[in-house]
Amino acid sequence: MKHFIVQNPFINLSETTWNDSSSDDSLLPLSDLRLAVKDLFHMAELPTSAGNPTWLATHPIPTKTSSSVAALLNNGAIFCGKTITDELAYSLNGQNIHYGTPSNPMTPNRLPGGSSSGSAVAVAADLADIGLGTDTGGSIRVPASYNGLFGLRPTHGVIPSDNMVALAPSFDTVGWLTRDLDALAKTASVLLKNKPPKEFNNILIAKNLIDQVEHVKELNIQLQTWREQGRFPKESSVVIDTKVWKTSETFRTLQGAEIWHEHGKWIKSLEGLDGVFAPDIQSRFEWCKTISEADVAAAKQQRQRFTDWLEHEIEGAVLIIPTTPGLAPLFDAADDELAAYRNQLMDITAIAGLAGLPQLHLPVCTLHGAPCGLSLVSSKGTDLALIEFAKTLME
Protein backbone atom coordinates (compact mmCIF):
# COMPACT_ATOMS: atom_id res chain seq x y z
CA MET A 1 0.00 0.00 0.00
CA LYS A 2 1.56 3.32 -1.04
CA HIS A 3 1.24 6.46 1.05
CA PHE A 4 2.72 9.90 0.63
CA ILE A 5 3.95 12.22 3.37
CA VAL A 6 2.78 15.82 3.75
CA GLN A 7 4.54 18.47 5.81
CA ASN A 8 1.37 20.49 6.38
CA PRO A 9 -1.12 18.61 8.60
CA PHE A 10 -3.93 21.06 7.83
CA ILE A 11 -6.60 20.20 5.30
CA ASN A 12 -8.42 23.52 5.59
CA LEU A 13 -6.57 26.60 6.84
CA SER A 14 -8.47 29.32 8.66
CA GLU A 15 -9.02 32.70 7.10
CA THR A 16 -10.90 34.01 10.14
CA THR A 17 -10.48 33.92 13.91
CA TRP A 18 -13.82 32.12 14.34
CA ASN A 19 -14.10 33.73 17.76
CA ASP A 20 -17.65 34.85 18.51
CA SER A 21 -17.02 36.00 22.07
CA SER A 22 -17.85 39.58 22.93
CA SER A 23 -15.64 39.48 26.03
CA ASP A 24 -12.12 40.86 26.36
CA ASP A 25 -10.10 37.99 24.90
CA SER A 26 -7.21 38.65 27.26
CA LEU A 27 -9.43 37.60 30.18
CA LEU A 28 -10.50 34.32 28.63
CA PRO A 29 -8.90 31.03 29.77
CA LEU A 30 -7.71 30.05 26.30
CA SER A 31 -6.59 33.50 25.19
CA ASP A 32 -3.88 33.35 22.49
CA LEU A 33 -3.89 29.53 22.34
CA ARG A 34 -4.00 28.30 18.74
CA LEU A 35 -6.52 25.55 18.00
CA ALA A 36 -6.24 22.80 15.37
CA VAL A 37 -9.48 20.86 14.78
CA LYS A 38 -9.64 17.28 13.53
CA ASP A 39 -11.67 17.08 10.33
CA LEU A 40 -14.44 15.07 11.97
CA PHE A 41 -15.88 18.06 13.84
CA HIS A 42 -18.49 20.07 11.99
CA MET A 43 -17.98 23.81 11.71
CA ALA A 44 -20.68 25.90 10.09
CA GLU A 45 -19.93 26.75 6.45
CA LEU A 46 -16.76 24.63 6.40
CA PRO A 47 -16.75 21.20 4.71
CA THR A 48 -16.11 18.06 6.76
CA SER A 49 -14.28 15.36 4.80
CA ALA A 50 -13.80 12.78 7.60
CA GLY A 51 -10.56 11.92 5.81
CA ASN A 52 -12.31 10.70 2.67
CA PRO A 53 -13.07 12.60 -0.58
CA THR A 54 -16.15 10.48 -1.31
CA TRP A 55 -17.58 11.30 2.10
CA LEU A 56 -16.95 14.96 1.34
CA ALA A 57 -18.69 14.71 -2.03
CA THR A 58 -21.74 12.87 -0.70
CA HIS A 59 -22.47 14.97 2.40
CA PRO A 60 -23.60 18.60 2.65
CA ILE A 61 -21.52 21.38 4.12
CA PRO A 62 -22.46 21.65 7.81
CA THR A 63 -24.70 24.46 9.00
CA LYS A 64 -23.94 23.96 12.70
CA THR A 65 -20.74 23.89 14.74
CA SER A 66 -19.73 21.24 17.26
CA SER A 67 -20.41 22.45 20.81
CA SER A 68 -16.87 21.46 21.80
CA VAL A 69 -15.35 23.60 19.06
CA ALA A 70 -17.68 26.48 19.89
CA ALA A 71 -16.79 26.30 23.58
CA LEU A 72 -13.07 26.51 22.84
CA LEU A 73 -13.48 29.40 20.42
CA ASN A 74 -15.78 31.29 22.76
CA ASN A 75 -13.18 30.97 25.50
CA GLY A 76 -10.43 32.63 23.49
CA ALA A 77 -8.89 29.88 21.35
CA ILE A 78 -7.70 30.98 17.92
CA PHE A 79 -8.77 28.65 15.11
CA CYS A 80 -5.86 27.65 12.85
CA GLY A 81 -7.60 25.15 10.60
CA LYS A 82 -8.97 21.63 10.25
CA THR A 83 -6.50 18.78 10.21
CA ILE A 84 -6.01 15.50 8.37
CA THR A 85 -7.55 12.39 9.90
CA ASP A 86 -7.47 8.71 8.99
CA GLU A 87 -10.49 7.72 6.88
CA LEU A 88 -13.62 7.99 9.05
CA ALA A 89 -11.16 7.77 11.97
CA TYR A 90 -10.92 4.00 11.53
CA SER A 91 -7.18 3.51 12.08
CA LEU A 92 -4.39 4.10 14.58
CA ASN A 93 -1.57 4.69 12.08
CA GLY A 94 -2.16 8.27 10.93
CA GLN A 95 -1.93 7.34 7.23
CA ASN A 96 -4.28 8.68 4.59
CA ILE A 97 -3.90 7.68 0.92
CA HIS A 98 -6.11 10.58 -0.23
CA TYR A 99 -4.77 13.58 1.68
CA GLY A 100 -1.36 12.30 2.76
CA THR A 101 0.26 11.17 5.98
CA PRO A 102 1.33 14.08 8.23
CA SER A 103 5.06 13.97 8.89
CA ASN A 104 5.91 13.16 12.50
CA PRO A 105 8.14 16.12 13.48
CA MET A 106 9.79 14.13 16.27
CA THR A 107 10.78 11.12 14.15
CA PRO A 108 10.04 11.68 10.45
CA ASN A 109 10.85 8.06 9.60
CA ARG A 110 8.03 6.83 11.87
CA LEU A 111 4.23 7.05 11.69
CA PRO A 112 2.48 9.96 13.42
CA GLY A 113 -0.29 7.77 14.87
CA GLY A 114 -3.97 8.14 14.13
CA SER A 115 -6.64 8.92 13.69
CA SER A 116 -5.99 12.37 15.19
CA SER A 117 -2.66 12.49 13.34
CA GLY A 118 -3.09 15.94 11.86
CA SER A 119 -4.00 17.56 15.17
CA ALA A 120 -1.08 15.82 16.91
CA VAL A 121 1.45 16.84 14.28
CA ALA A 122 0.16 20.43 14.26
CA VAL A 123 0.83 20.67 18.00
CA ALA A 124 4.16 18.80 17.93
CA ALA A 125 5.37 21.07 15.12
CA ASP A 126 4.30 24.17 17.10
CA LEU A 127 1.70 25.11 14.50
CA ALA A 128 -1.00 24.95 17.18
CA ASP A 129 -1.21 24.81 20.98
CA ILE A 130 -4.33 22.65 21.29
CA GLY A 131 -5.00 19.73 18.99
CA LEU A 132 -8.68 18.85 19.21
CA GLY A 133 -9.39 15.26 18.23
CA THR A 134 -11.42 12.20 19.03
CA ASP A 135 -10.49 8.95 20.72
CA THR A 136 -12.48 5.78 20.05
CA GLY A 137 -9.82 3.07 20.12
CA GLY A 138 -6.77 5.17 21.02
CA SER A 139 -6.76 8.07 18.57
CA ILE A 140 -5.65 10.67 21.12
CA ARG A 141 -3.45 8.46 23.28
CA VAL A 142 -1.49 6.82 20.47
CA PRO A 143 -0.48 9.97 18.53
CA ALA A 144 0.30 11.64 21.87
CA SER A 145 2.80 8.87 22.53
CA TYR A 146 4.28 8.92 19.03
CA ASN A 147 4.68 12.73 18.97
CA GLY A 148 5.84 13.36 22.54
CA LEU A 149 2.66 15.14 23.67
CA PHE A 150 0.25 15.13 26.58
CA GLY A 151 -3.08 13.68 25.50
CA LEU A 152 -6.36 13.12 27.33
CA ARG A 153 -9.12 10.66 26.51
CA PRO A 154 -11.82 11.83 28.97
CA THR A 155 -14.52 9.79 30.68
CA HIS A 156 -16.88 8.52 28.01
CA GLY A 157 -19.88 10.80 27.58
CA VAL A 158 -18.63 13.61 29.80
CA ILE A 159 -18.14 15.88 26.75
CA PRO A 160 -20.98 16.08 24.18
CA SER A 161 -20.18 14.57 20.78
CA ASP A 162 -22.77 16.52 18.81
CA ASN A 163 -22.22 17.80 15.28
CA MET A 164 -19.37 15.52 14.37
CA VAL A 165 -18.88 12.34 12.35
CA ALA A 166 -19.38 9.38 14.66
CA LEU A 167 -17.44 6.12 14.46
CA ALA A 168 -18.65 3.91 17.32
CA PRO A 169 -20.78 6.00 19.70
CA SER A 170 -20.41 3.86 22.83
CA PHE A 171 -16.64 4.42 22.60
CA ASP A 172 -16.31 7.82 20.88
CA THR A 173 -14.85 10.60 23.03
CA VAL A 174 -13.74 14.18 22.41
CA GLY A 175 -10.11 14.58 23.46
CA TRP A 176 -7.14 16.87 22.96
CA LEU A 177 -3.34 17.02 22.75
CA THR A 178 -0.94 19.68 24.01
CA ARG A 179 2.80 20.18 24.49
CA ASP A 180 2.41 20.96 28.19
CA LEU A 181 0.06 20.21 31.06
CA ASP A 182 -0.84 23.86 31.57
CA ALA A 183 -2.52 24.11 28.15
CA LEU A 184 -4.15 20.71 28.68
CA ALA A 185 -5.55 21.81 32.04
CA LYS A 186 -6.85 25.12 30.63
CA THR A 187 -8.66 23.22 27.90
CA ALA A 188 -10.09 20.86 30.50
CA SER A 189 -11.43 23.82 32.49
CA VAL A 190 -13.53 24.75 29.46
CA LEU A 191 -14.68 21.31 28.27
CA LEU A 192 -14.98 19.32 31.49
CA LYS A 193 -17.70 19.84 34.05
CA ASN A 194 -16.60 17.10 36.45
CA LYS A 195 -16.81 17.28 40.20
CA PRO A 196 -13.99 19.21 41.91
CA PRO A 197 -10.71 17.26 42.02
CA LYS A 198 -10.21 14.81 44.86
CA GLU A 199 -7.08 13.11 46.13
CA PHE A 200 -6.21 9.56 45.16
CA ASN A 201 -5.15 7.21 47.94
CA ASN A 202 -3.27 4.59 45.96
CA ILE A 203 -1.14 4.02 42.88
CA LEU A 204 -1.75 0.77 41.03
CA ILE A 205 1.08 -0.41 38.79
CA ALA A 206 0.16 -2.83 35.98
CA LYS A 207 3.62 -4.38 36.13
CA ASN A 208 2.79 -7.30 33.82
CA LEU A 209 1.86 -4.86 31.04
CA ILE A 210 4.92 -2.68 31.61
CA ASP A 211 7.17 -5.75 31.47
CA GLN A 212 5.84 -6.57 27.99
CA VAL A 213 6.65 -3.28 26.24
CA GLU A 214 9.69 -2.22 24.27
CA HIS A 215 10.52 0.66 26.62
CA VAL A 216 10.22 -1.31 29.89
CA LYS A 217 13.63 -0.16 31.17
CA GLU A 218 12.83 3.51 30.61
CA LEU A 219 9.41 3.22 32.27
CA ASN A 220 10.84 1.48 35.34
CA ILE A 221 13.49 4.19 35.70
CA GLN A 222 10.77 6.85 35.62
CA LEU A 223 8.62 5.00 38.16
CA GLN A 224 11.60 4.59 40.47
CA THR A 225 12.36 8.29 40.21
CA TRP A 226 8.84 9.17 41.29
CA ARG A 227 9.07 6.71 44.19
CA GLU A 228 12.30 8.27 45.40
CA GLN A 229 10.75 11.73 45.14
CA GLY A 230 7.81 10.62 47.30
CA ARG A 231 5.24 11.27 44.57
CA PHE A 232 3.18 8.12 45.28
CA PRO A 233 0.82 8.23 48.30
CA LYS A 234 0.77 4.43 48.44
CA GLU A 235 1.65 1.80 45.87
CA SER A 236 0.43 -1.67 44.96
CA SER A 237 0.35 -3.80 41.83
CA VAL A 238 -2.40 -5.25 39.71
CA VAL A 239 -2.36 -7.88 36.97
CA ILE A 240 -4.39 -7.03 33.88
CA ASP A 241 -4.25 -10.10 31.66
CA THR A 242 -5.49 -8.72 28.35
CA LYS A 243 -5.53 -12.18 26.78
CA VAL A 244 -7.75 -13.65 29.50
CA TRP A 245 -10.03 -10.62 29.42
CA LYS A 246 -9.98 -10.60 25.59
CA THR A 247 -9.71 -6.82 25.62
CA SER A 248 -8.76 -6.32 21.97
CA GLU A 249 -11.17 -8.94 20.63
CA THR A 250 -14.07 -7.63 22.72
CA PHE A 251 -13.40 -4.02 21.78
CA ARG A 252 -13.00 -4.70 18.08
CA THR A 253 -16.23 -6.72 17.90
CA LEU A 254 -18.33 -4.04 19.59
CA GLN A 255 -16.64 -1.21 17.72
CA GLY A 256 -17.04 -2.97 14.37
CA ALA A 257 -20.73 -3.63 14.91
CA GLU A 258 -21.34 0.01 15.82
CA ILE A 259 -19.34 1.22 12.82
CA TRP A 260 -21.47 -0.85 10.47
CA HIS A 261 -24.64 0.42 12.15
CA GLU A 262 -23.44 4.02 11.69
CA HIS A 263 -22.00 3.82 8.18
CA GLY A 264 -23.02 0.50 6.64
CA LYS A 265 -25.83 1.92 4.50
CA TRP A 266 -23.53 4.60 3.05
CA ILE A 267 -20.70 2.11 2.45
CA LYS A 268 -23.07 -0.29 0.66
CA SER A 269 -24.22 2.56 -1.59
CA LEU A 270 -20.63 2.84 -2.89
CA GLU A 271 -20.29 -0.81 -3.94
CA GLY A 272 -18.75 -1.10 -7.39
CA LEU A 273 -16.66 2.06 -7.06
CA ASP A 274 -12.89 1.57 -6.98
CA GLY A 275 -10.44 3.40 -4.76
CA VAL A 276 -12.98 4.82 -2.34
CA PHE A 277 -11.07 3.52 0.70
CA ALA A 278 -7.52 2.44 1.40
CA PRO A 279 -7.23 -1.37 1.19
CA ASP A 280 -6.77 -1.82 4.95
CA ILE A 281 -9.76 0.40 5.73
CA GLN A 282 -11.86 -1.39 3.11
CA SER A 283 -10.99 -4.80 4.57
CA ARG A 284 -12.06 -3.64 8.04
CA PHE A 285 -15.40 -2.45 6.71
CA GLU A 286 -15.86 -5.81 4.98
CA TRP A 287 -15.20 -7.52 8.30
CA CYS A 288 -17.61 -5.23 10.18
CA LYS A 289 -20.60 -6.41 8.18
CA THR A 290 -19.89 -10.05 9.11
CA ILE A 291 -20.27 -9.50 12.87
CA SER A 292 -23.31 -11.40 14.12
CA GLU A 293 -25.81 -10.53 16.83
CA ALA A 294 -24.48 -13.46 18.84
CA ASP A 295 -20.94 -12.04 18.55
CA VAL A 296 -22.18 -8.68 19.86
CA ALA A 297 -24.16 -10.23 22.73
CA ALA A 298 -21.14 -12.23 23.90
CA ALA A 299 -18.86 -9.20 23.60
CA LYS A 300 -21.26 -7.03 25.60
CA GLN A 301 -21.27 -9.58 28.42
CA GLN A 302 -17.49 -9.74 28.39
CA ARG A 303 -17.26 -5.95 28.39
CA GLN A 304 -19.51 -5.73 31.44
CA ARG A 305 -17.53 -8.36 33.35
CA PHE A 306 -14.27 -6.58 32.62
CA THR A 307 -15.69 -3.15 33.47
CA ASP A 308 -17.11 -4.33 36.80
CA TRP A 309 -13.77 -5.91 37.75
CA LEU A 310 -11.65 -2.94 36.70
CA GLU A 311 -13.85 -0.31 38.36
CA HIS A 312 -13.62 -2.24 41.63
CA GLU A 313 -9.82 -2.52 41.35
CA ILE A 314 -9.17 1.18 40.69
CA GLU A 315 -11.67 2.75 43.09
CA GLY A 316 -9.84 5.70 44.69
CA ALA A 317 -6.64 4.87 42.82
CA VAL A 318 -4.62 5.87 39.79
CA LEU A 319 -3.70 3.00 37.49
CA ILE A 320 -0.40 3.25 35.62
CA ILE A 321 -0.13 1.37 32.33
CA PRO A 322 1.96 1.72 29.17
CA THR A 323 0.22 3.73 26.46
CA THR A 324 1.59 1.69 23.56
CA PRO A 325 3.65 -1.50 23.13
CA GLY A 326 6.62 0.62 22.06
CA LEU A 327 7.72 3.23 19.57
CA ALA A 328 5.76 4.41 16.57
CA PRO A 329 6.12 1.89 13.71
CA LEU A 330 8.49 2.84 10.91
CA PHE A 331 6.85 4.51 7.94
CA ASP A 332 7.92 1.70 5.61
CA ALA A 333 6.71 -1.14 7.89
CA ALA A 334 5.04 -3.96 6.00
CA ASP A 335 1.25 -4.21 6.12
CA ASP A 336 1.34 -7.50 8.03
CA GLU A 337 3.68 -5.96 10.62
CA LEU A 338 1.30 -3.04 11.10
CA ALA A 339 -1.67 -5.40 11.47
CA ALA A 340 0.12 -7.46 14.14
CA TYR A 341 1.20 -4.32 15.99
CA ARG A 342 -2.35 -2.97 15.86
CA ASN A 343 -3.62 -6.02 17.76
CA GLN A 344 -0.93 -5.59 20.45
CA LEU A 345 -1.75 -1.90 20.67
CA MET A 346 -5.48 -2.42 21.06
CA ASP A 347 -4.93 -4.93 23.86
CA ILE A 348 -3.70 -1.92 25.85
CA THR A 349 -5.87 0.92 24.53
CA ALA A 350 -9.05 -1.17 24.97
CA ILE A 351 -8.59 -1.20 28.75
CA ALA A 352 -9.89 2.34 29.27
CA GLY A 353 -12.04 2.16 26.15
CA LEU A 354 -14.12 -0.80 27.26
CA ALA A 355 -14.69 0.65 30.73
CA GLY A 356 -15.25 4.25 29.57
CA LEU A 357 -12.49 5.56 31.86
CA PRO A 358 -10.34 8.69 31.56
CA GLN A 359 -6.76 8.10 30.42
CA LEU A 360 -3.96 10.67 30.30
CA HIS A 361 -0.73 10.06 28.38
CA LEU A 362 2.48 11.49 29.85
CA PRO A 363 5.48 11.84 27.48
CA VAL A 364 8.08 10.90 30.09
CA CYS A 365 10.75 9.01 28.16
CA THR A 366 12.44 8.34 24.85
CA LEU A 367 13.96 5.26 23.26
CA HIS A 368 16.39 5.40 20.33
CA GLY A 369 15.58 9.09 20.01
CA ALA A 370 11.83 8.47 19.65
CA PRO A 371 9.23 9.60 22.21
CA CYS A 372 7.23 7.18 24.33
CA GLY A 373 5.71 7.20 27.80
CA LEU A 374 3.00 5.90 30.07
CA SER A 375 -0.61 6.55 30.96
CA LEU A 376 -2.61 7.36 34.06
CA VAL A 377 -6.11 5.86 34.27
CA SER A 378 -8.74 6.53 36.96
CA SER A 379 -12.43 6.08 37.73
CA LYS A 380 -15.21 7.67 35.71
CA GLY A 381 -15.67 11.37 36.32
CA THR A 382 -12.25 11.92 37.93
CA ASP A 383 -10.72 13.59 34.88
CA LEU A 384 -9.80 16.84 36.63
CA ALA A 385 -8.30 14.97 39.57
CA LEU A 386 -6.24 12.91 37.14
CA ILE A 387 -4.83 16.08 35.58
CA GLU A 388 -3.99 17.53 39.00
CA PHE A 389 -2.25 14.31 39.99
CA ALA A 390 -0.25 14.39 36.75
CA LYS A 391 0.92 17.89 37.69
CA THR A 392 2.35 16.57 40.97
CA LEU A 393 4.28 13.91 39.05
CA MET A 394 5.59 16.30 36.40
CA GLU A 395 6.64 19.18 38.65
Residues annotated as part of the active site: 38, 115, 139
* CA–CA gap between residue 189 and residue 68 (Å, rounded): 12
**Please, which residues bridge with residue 366 across strands?**
371
Q: Compute the residue count for the chain.
A: 395
- Partners of residue 319 on adjacent β-strands: 204, 377
- 95: amino acid identity, one letter: Q
Residue 319, SS3? Answer: strand
Classify 100 as helix, strand or coil.
Answer: coil
Measured distance CA(150)–CA(147) in Å, rounded: 9
From residue 124, alpha-carbon distances to 117, 127, 385 in Å are 10, 8, 25
34-38 and 101-102 as β-strands: parallel, antiparallel, unpaired?
Answer: unpaired
What is the spatial distance between Cα 12 and Cα 118, in angstroms, rounded to a whole number?
11
C-alpha–C-alpha distance, residues 247 and 242, integer Å:
5
Spatial distance between the Cα atoms of 13 and 34, rounded to a whole number of angstroms? 12
Residue type at position 200: F
Q: Are 23 and 31 in contact (CB under 8 A)?
A: no
Break the chain down into helix, strand, coil percent, rounded to 5. Answer: 40, 20, 45
Distance CA 157, CA 381 (A): 10
- Alpha-carbon distance of 10 to 31, in angstroms, equals 22
Name the DSSP letter for residue 36: E
Per-residue CA distances from 304 to 87, 137, 282, 299, 311 (Å): 29, 17, 30, 9, 10
